[in-house]
Amino acid sequence: MLIIERKEGESIDRTLKRYKNKHRRVGLMKEQRRRKEYVKPSVRRRHTTLKAVYIKKKYHVED
């Protein structure tokens, strides 16, 4: 659980903005989505390989 303490003289809006930024940096939502359903290691490896191939094709420039 994230805890953000309100600083002296800080507005609620600014505190909320700091909380949102910290939440995004920590990656809580990303972790929750990843754990939502199990993905087999072989499928995860295949996805990584296909992503690498896609990026290589995208940025490959023939001279």
In this predicted model, what pLDDT tens digit does every residue of 19-61 receive, in sequence order? 999 988 888 888 888 899 999 999 999 999 999 999 999 998 7
- Does any domain span residue 6? no
Query: What local confidence, expressed as pLDDT, does residue 63 receive?
Result: 55
Query: What local confidence, expressed as pLDDT, does residue 18 receive?
Result: 93
Asked if residue 13 has pLDDT above 90, the reply is yes
Query: What local confidence, expressed as pLDDT, does residue 3 receive?
Result: 86
- Does any domain span residue 23? yes
pTM of the model: 0.50
Helix 28-35 × helix 12-26 angle, to 10°: 40
Answer yes or no: are the C-beta atoms of 4 and 15 closer than 8 Å: yes
- Does any domain span residue 7? no
Query: What local confidence, expressed as pLDDT, does residue 60 receive?
Result: 86
How many domains does one find in the chain? 1
d(CA 51, CA 2) in angstroms, rounded, equals 32
